[in-house]
Amino acid sequence: MCGIVGIAGPHELKWVHDMNGAIVHRGPDDQGFYSSPDGAVSLAAQRLSILDLEGGHQPMSSRDGSIWIVFNGEIYNAPQLRAQFESQGRQFVTAHSDTEVLLHLYETKGEAMLDDLNGMFAFVNFGTRLI
């Protein structure tokens, strides 16, 4: 299972890199880092590729780069949510990523997105714009 870390508030980027290094055993397939332009928020992830083997790099951003997320777990109803969004004309970059579904859901519903989720998961998202 993947691993996610992050810090909000004053910090050194090295701390996030060190935390992510401490959980490398949680996801040997990929790793990634994000730090907000003002340096107030940093996110990192270690990824174990299960659903979307070639896509799904994290941290992942919305198409316009205004929302960032790290995610661990599985959204059982992600295929249905994805199909619903696609029928509304929303486009996806990845083939099967639960994480990208979460971004679209957050863009449309904000915190109320949690009412639509079925699964076991943890995620942290950060937005530079209000929903």
3 state SS of 110? helix
3 state SS of 23? coil
Which spans in the chain are helix H? 13-22, 78-87, 98-109
Is 122 annotated in the active site? no
Instruction: Report the distance separating Cα 95 and Cα 93, nearest Å.
Output: 7
Q: How far is CA 95 from CA 2, 53, 76, 92, 114, in A?
A: 19, 9, 16, 7, 22
Q: How far is CA 53 from CA 19, 49, 94, 96, in A?
A: 24, 5, 10, 9
Catalytic residue among 2, 44, 78, 81, which? 2
- The residues annotated as belonging to the active site are 2
